[in-house]
Amino acid sequence: MKKIELEIVALSHSITQTHSYAVVLGETNGLRRLPIVIGGFEAQAIAVALERMQPSRPLTHDLMKNFMMAFNIELHEIIISDLQEGIFYSKLLCSNEHDTVEIDSRTSDALALAVRFGCPIYTYEHILESAGILMEDTGKKKRPDEEKQLVQETGSKEDLKSMSLEELNQLLNEVLEQEDYLRAIAIRDEINNRKKKY
């Protein structure tokens, strides 16, 4: 079967399920999108890696990467290989100097590792056919920062806009201490937007 390359284009709250997030994968050379519902911890693990944040202690996926690297195990790619009753199944394609193996994985964990290793994400046509969404081609090329967006809604944007810069910096320190990296990203973005204006 021919593999289709995907990339993470958005991460947002799931509209359909509370306390869940949706990671949206986009076809690299196409218009189809594949939304996958994931849990909050997994969304945070993906967001931390996408935003290149450095937690004070390694998160589980960082530990997994460190473990793999310590034993010279390379992650070549992840494949979203199946979809059954609304559940996505994935595999990690790994190797060391002696062997290459496919390891079964939850898709959210596979994506968190793919971001950390910088490896490609693939799926198959039948999965995109059954669960993908076709985006309209407006003919207008999007800027990279418009296409790859990390949407964060745990703290209302209006709440952040009403805070002073000093209050935002204090809140940022508090949420970083609580290791709430998704919320930290939204606060950091609000601080950066204000600095650009001045």
User: What are the φ/ψ torsions at residue 164 (nearest 5 degrees)?
Assistant: -75, 165
Radius of gyration of the chain from its Cα atoms, rounded to whole angstroms: 18
- pLDDT for residue 197: 74
Note the pLDDT of residue 146: 45
What is the structure's pLDDT at 158? 53
Please name each of the domains of the chain with its CATH number.
Answer: 3-150 (3.10.690.10), 157-197 (no CATH)
Look at residue 11 in the predicted model and tell me its pLDDT: 86
Cβ burial 80-112 (10 Å sphere, 16+ → b, else e): bbebeeeebbbbbbbeeeeeeeeeebebbbbbb
Between CA 68 and CA 82 the distance in angstroms is 25
Q: Which pLDDT score, from 0 to 100, does residue 198 have?
A: 66
Provide the residue-wise pLDDT of the chain in tens; the chain has 198 residues: 899 999 999 887 755 566 678 898 999 989 899 989 898 889 999 999 998 888 888 999 999 999 999 999 999 999 999 999 889 999 999 999 999 999 999 999 999 999 999 999 999 999 999 888 887 665 544 444 444 444 444 444 558 888 888 898 888 878 777 766 667 777 877 887 888 776
Q: Among candidates 191, 188, 185, which has minimal Cα distance to 12?
A: 185
Whole-number pLDDT of residue 168: 87
pLDDT at 155: 44
